[in-house]
Amino acid sequence: MSPISEMVRARPQRLRIVCWASAAAIVVFFAVVGTALRGGTEGGGSFNASDQLAMVGLGILLAAGVLMLTRPRVEADDRGVRVRNVIGGYDLPWSVVRAVRFDDGSPWASLELLDDETVAVLAVQANDKAYAVEAVRGLRRLHAKYGASA
């Protein structure tokens, strides 16, 4: 890699805000419900401290699941493109990428590979508007410079 090489990095912007706010709300909600669990039930059971802690723990687990949606990112430079989605990731040299696509109506960008497969780039989402457009332009610039057709 040259000392001064172009680097494109992107992460979903709006989704991260929504996920962090949702995760916080989930934890607060389950903490409130957990502290409200006191006394007995109509069936003769009773709630104790372990039940309250279990509710808070459940809220934390659900919040962690929501925060997994903030995991996507893409990084690209002269060596290739590295895509990390919610589950799994790809490290692709530019030589296997046919095109960087962001079709009308598509919720996120994708990479079209030479073997006719596509790789979703969840880090570049349509609801991020100008940020997403700039990320796709950067990816396309790098692809034009280092890609299969270069």
User: How many residues in the chain?
Assistant: 150
Q: What is the three-class DSSP state of 126?
A: helix
- What pLDDT is attached to residue 1? 45
DSSP bridge partners of 101? 110
Residue type, 84: R
Whole-angstrom distance, CA of residue 65 vs CA of residue 14:
17
pTM of structure: 0.81
Would you kindly state where each structural domain of the chain is located, as residue ranges? 14-69, 72-146
**Tokens encoding 67:** 């925060």
Query: ∠126-128-133 over CA atoms, to 5°?
Result: 70
- What pLDDT is attached to residue 134? 95
- What pLDDT is attached to residue 40? 67
- List, for the chain, all residue ranges whose pLDDT scores fall below the cut of 70: 1-4, 40-45, 148-150
- 72-146 adopts what CATH topology? PH-domain like (2.30.29)
- What pLDDT is attached to residue 36? 86
